[in-house]
């Protein structure tokens, strides 16, 4: 009599195991692009073409001119853990290929419809094989070129939950471009091509690394590159770093390759950052593309499913060599911090001319000055109205009158402010505009002769009745322009100021896609752009408030914000683009301002809805009341 055995542990079906493995290997269409391109490189390909439809969610085609496969290899390549890269466990200790686990094709085939066409050079006919949802159909002979063509259709068609988690086409396309760029940068000796929805994005012929960088990122990068080269018994180092003045506030242009494989390794990134210590503005990140060649037996890349992390037996020596090599390269090409010995122009005193006698300073007094006369009245016999309540209240009335007439679109000029103010009755209580959110007293309520000067070329010092105010001129102007641009956008665009001569910018295909995705927001801001293709953008018009700016600097600032904001909704992306434009068009720190410019800047800041912060939340001003000043002398 047989007894049934009750077991709770069961072996998973093969197709379920493959779908679980696919969760680690295939996260999005970009993962498929990466795995298939790496297989093509391992097959000895010198030309690789990638074609995407709908960012890869509906079709991915990767075609190469590698060695191809025979019918037996084609039939077994979709089996789990089937690989030509390993023969024994010892091979794991010295990996020299890109793919080696044998999970990629099996995982991809379990969640998509895959068609393989391949032929070896010695074969007259190739072979075609179809795998759908892990189910393999018999191979058939077919006419095809030497190499392999892999077509992946309807990704995650049998895992709808995974498909629903995919982002929008522009976001998924950017991820695919990132993977394509990394592999293209690591293999400049190979030709690559990428197209999307029948439109070409990249066409990269084989050539030197510098040429590859320029074709991927745009011609403007040619002047930004500093070559790095160092060879020791521990590591061979080659590549380029970007000049510090072109560093950005966003990550994403740091490429580190070990034995041709892209990795992320914080200690190596830290070595590059330390090499540029003193050359970078805090919070900025330099561009670099660096290649490290290390003995394969002394590095382990088999520690992460996506193979983007690694362990090194001699990590500390490599870090020291990397830091020294980058620092030496920057010094060799005279990239060093520049010291500005120019005196602060706001305090400049012209030297005496030859033979000139220097007279003792004299104090100028105005005997006709009367504090109870309105500003601009001139003397006791002037036309200003007499104010029994005192000069301060009258000045408040004059300021409020000016704001009233400006709001009516007919600001009065000169002394008529004092006359008109006597016709209106105002409360002595400060308005919200005067106080700026109730925490900062606006210098607008102070008289026109208030103390006002520039400090260290970047800050405006002024005063209110309650204390001292320091204004960061760049951040303040950024806030002013940000609110102005935002208001114009809300009011259905501000129109473009057409350029006399259009400006053609060579940005690279990746940046062009970012601008295309935000084209409506840029049009609302006042940009007039065309996209002629081949990684170029033609600027026909600029926003009126930024019409005097350089198109390349304005577009670069917007791109920096778009890269940083990442996967967000359209409204937030538009807000970040507006902030980037405001920052690029704002008065730079270090520029000397006239008194009129300083007054306009301070008044404009306190007219903003949020005067105390710039669009990134950084302080635009600092206040010091009497107690704060007195505490410094205790």
| Highest mean predicted confidence (pLDDT) among 78-82, 151-155, 306-310, 483-487 | 151-155
Q: Tell me what pLDDT residue 358 has.
A: 66
437 contacts 568 by C-beta, under 8 angstroms? no
DSSP secondary structure code for residue 346 in this structure: G
User: What CATH number was assigned to the domain covering residues 14-207?
Assistant: 3.30.565.10
Task: Quote the radius of gyration of the chain (alpha carbons, Å).
Answer: 33
Q: Higher confidence at residue 69 or residue 414?
A: 69
526 contacts 544 by C-beta, under 8 angstroms? yes
Distance CA 201, CA 204 (A): 10
Q: Tell me what pLDDT residue 341 has.
A: 43
Measuring CA to CA, which residue among 311, 295, 293, 312 is closest to residue 303?
A: 311
Sign of CA dihedral 156, 162, 168, 173: negative
Tell me the per-residue pLDDT of 547-590, one tens digit each, with 9 for 90 and over: 777 888 888 888 888 877 766 666 777 888 888 888 888 888 87
Tell me the per-residue pLDDT of 235-279, one tens digit each, with 9 for 90 and over: 999 999 999 888 887 788 899 999 888 988 889 999 999 998 888
Q: Higher confidence at residue 321 or residue 26?
A: 321
Measuring CA to CA, which residue among 470, 415, 435 is closest to residue 601?
A: 470
**Residue 317 backbone dihedrals phi, psi, to 5 degrees:** -60, -35
pLDDT of 346 > 50? The answer is no
Q: What is the mean pLDDT of residues 390-396?
A: 43
**Residue 536 backbone dihedrals phi, psi, to 5 degrees:** -115, 155
Alpha helix locations (H) across 469-541? 473-490, 509-517, 519-525
pLDDT of 160 > 50? The answer is yes
Tell me the per-residue pLDDT of 603-629, one tens digit each, with 9 for 90 and over: 888 888 888 888 888 888 888 877 887
Distance CA 256, CA 460 (A): 43
Question: Which residues are paired to 546 by β-bridges?
Answer: none
Q: Tell me what pLDDT residue 223 has.
A: 87
| Highest mean predicted confidence (pLDDT) among 18-22, 164-168, 268-272, 426-430 | 268-272
Tell me the per-residue pLDDT of 117-134, one tens digit each, with 9 for 90 and over: 999 999 889 999 999 887
Q: Tell me what pLDDT residue 19 has.
A: 60
Q: Tell me what pLDDT residue 374 has.
A: 44
Question: Which percentage of the chain shows pLDDT scores above 90?
Answer: 22
Among 208-217, 272-281, 519-528, whose mean pLDDT is lowest? 519-528
Q: What is the mean pLDDT of residues 41-59?
A: 93
Q: Higher confidence at residue 450 or residue 507?
A: 507
Question: Which percentage of the chain shows pLDDT scores above 70?
Answer: 71
**Residue 55 backbone dihedrals phi, psi, to 5 degrees:** 65, 15
Q: How far does Cα 119 stand from its chain's mean position?
A: 43
Residue-range domain boundaries for the chain: 14-207, 210-332, 370-429
183 contacts 37 by C-beta, under 8 angstroms? yes
Q: What is the mean pLDDT of residues 338-344?
A: 43
Q: What is the mean pLDDT of residues 303-327?
A: 83
User: What is the dihedral angle through the alpha carbons of 444, 446, 451, 455, rounded to the nearest 10 degrees?
Assistant: -30
Q: Higher confidence at residue 437 or residue 576?
A: 576
Q: Tell me what pLDDT residue 397 has.
A: 44
- pLDDT-derived band of residue 438, with 50, 70 and 90 as boundaries? very low
Q: Tell me what pLDDT residue 386 has.
A: 33
**Residue 42 backbone dihedrals phi, psi, to 5 degrees:** -65, -25
pLDDT of 193 > 50? The answer is yes
Measuring CA to CA, which residue among 606, 371, 592 is closest to residue 469?
A: 606
Q: Tell me what pLDDT residue 257 has.
A: 93
DSSP secondary structure code for residue 443 in this structure: G
pLDDT of 451 > 90? The answer is no
User: What CATH number was assigned to the domain covering residues 210-332?
Assistant: 3.30.230.10
292 contacts 257 by C-beta, under 8 angstroms? yes
| Highest mean predicted confidence (pLDDT) among 83-97, 102-116, 481-495 | 102-116
In this structure, the number of other CB atoms found within 10 A of the CB of residue 232 comes to 11
pLDDT of 34 > 60? The answer is yes
Q: Tell me what pLDDT residue 401 has.
A: 46
Q: Higher confidence at residue 440 or residue 598?
A: 598
Q: Nearest-5° angle of CA 227, CA 231, CA 233?
A: 160
Q: Tell me what pLDDT residue 116 has.
A: 92
Average pLDDT value over all residues in the chain: 76
Q: What is the mean pLDDT of residues 88-112?
A: 63
- pLDDT-derived band of residue 52, with 50, 70 and 90 as boundaries? very high
272 contacts 280 by C-beta, under 8 angstroms? no
Q: Higher confidence at residue 383 or residue 197?
A: 197
Q: Tell me what pLDDT residue 615 has.
A: 85
Looking at the chain, how many residues does it have?
A: 634
276 contacts 246 by C-beta, under 8 angstroms? no
pLDDT of 298 > 80? The answer is yes
Distance CA 572, CA 330 (A): 38
Quickly list DSSP for 108-138: HHHSSEEEEEEE-TT-SSEEEEEEETTEEPP
The enclosing H or E element of 25 equals helix 14-25
Residues 6 or more apart whose CB falls under 8 angstroms from that of 622 comprise 469, 470
CB under 8 A, 24+ apart: contacts of 411-414: 414/376
In this structure, the number of other CB atoms found within 10 A of the CB of residue 380 comes to 12
Prediction pTM value: 0.68
């Amino acid at each position: 009599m047989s007894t049934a055995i009750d077991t709770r542990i069961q072996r998973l079906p093969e197709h379920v195991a493959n779908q679980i493995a696919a969760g680690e290997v295939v996260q999005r269409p970009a993962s498929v692009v990466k795995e298939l391109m790496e297989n093509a490189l391992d097959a000895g390909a010198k030309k690789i073409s990638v074609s995407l439809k709908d960012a890869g969610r509906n079709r991915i085609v990767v075609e190469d001119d590698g060695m191809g496969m025979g019918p037996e290899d084609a039939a077994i390549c979709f089996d789990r853990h089937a690989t030509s890269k390993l023969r024994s466990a010892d091979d794991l200790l010295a990996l020299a290929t890109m793919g080696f686990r044998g999970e990629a094709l099996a995982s991809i085939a379990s969640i998509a419809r895959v068609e393989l066409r391949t032929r070896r050079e010695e074969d007259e006919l190739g072979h075609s094989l179809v795998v759908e949802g892990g189910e393999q159909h018999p191979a058939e002979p077919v006419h095809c070129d030497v190499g392999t063509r892999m077509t992946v259709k309807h990704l995650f068609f049998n895992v709808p939950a995974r498909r629903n988690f995919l982002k929008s086409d522009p976001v998924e396309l950017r991820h695919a471009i990132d993977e394509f760029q990394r592999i293209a940068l690591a293999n400049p000796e190979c030709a690559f091509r990428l197209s999307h929805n029948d439109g070409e994005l990249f066409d990269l012929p084989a050539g030197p690394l510098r040429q590859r960088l320029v074709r991927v990122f745009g011609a403007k990068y040619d002047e930004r590159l500093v070559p790095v080269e160092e060879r020791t018994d521990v590591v061979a180092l080659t590549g380029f770093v970007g000049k510090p003045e072109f560093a950005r506030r966003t990550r994403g242009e740091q490429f580190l390759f070990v034995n041709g494989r892209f990795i992320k390794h914080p200690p190596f990134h830290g070595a590059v950052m330390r090499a540029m210590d003193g050359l970078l503005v805090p919070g900025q990140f330099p561009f670099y593309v660096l290649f490290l060649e290390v003995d394969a037996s002394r590095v382990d890349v088999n520690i992460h499913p996506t193979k983007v992390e690694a362990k090194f037996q001699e990590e500390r020596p490599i870090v020291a060599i990397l830091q020294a090599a980058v620092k030496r390269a920057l010094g060799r090409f005279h990239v060093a911090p520049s010291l500005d010995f120019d005196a602060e122009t706001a305090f400049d005193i012209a030297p005496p001319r030859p033979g000139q006698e220097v007279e003792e300073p004299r104090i100028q007094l105005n005997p006709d000055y009367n504090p109870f006369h309105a500003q601009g009245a001139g003397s006791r016999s002037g036309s200003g109205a007499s104010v029994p309540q005192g000069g301060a209240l009258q000045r408040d009335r004059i300021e409020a009158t000016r704001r009233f007439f400006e709001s009516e679109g007919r600001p009065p000029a000169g002394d008529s402010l004092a006359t008109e103010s006597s016709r209106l009755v105002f409360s002595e209580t400060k308005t919200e505009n005067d106080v700026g959110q109730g925490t900062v007293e606006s210098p607008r309520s102070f008289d026109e002769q208030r103390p006002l000067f520039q400090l260290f070329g970047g800050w405006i010092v002024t005063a209110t009745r309650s204390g001292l105010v320091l204004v960061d001129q760049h951040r303040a102007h950024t806030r002013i322009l940000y609110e102005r641009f935002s208001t114009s956008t809300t009011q259905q665009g501000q129109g473009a100021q057409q350029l006399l001569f259009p400006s053609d910018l060579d940005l690279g295909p990746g940046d062009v896609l970012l601008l295309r995705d935000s084209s409506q927001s840029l049009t609302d801001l006042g940009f007039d752009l065309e996209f002629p293709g081949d990684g170029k953008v033609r600027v026909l018009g600029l926003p009126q408030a930024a019409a005097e700016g350089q198109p390349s600097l304005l577009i670069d600032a917007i791109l920096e914000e778009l890269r940083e904001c990442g996967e967000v909704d359209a409204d937030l992306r538009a807000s970040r683009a507006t902030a980037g434009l405001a920052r690029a068009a704002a008065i730079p720190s270090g520029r000397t301002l006239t008194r009129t410019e300083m007054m306009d800047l301070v008044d404009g800041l306190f007219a903003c809805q949020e005067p105390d912060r710039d669009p990134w939340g950084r302080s635009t001003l600092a206040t010091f009341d009497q107690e704060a000043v007195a505490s410094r002398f205790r």
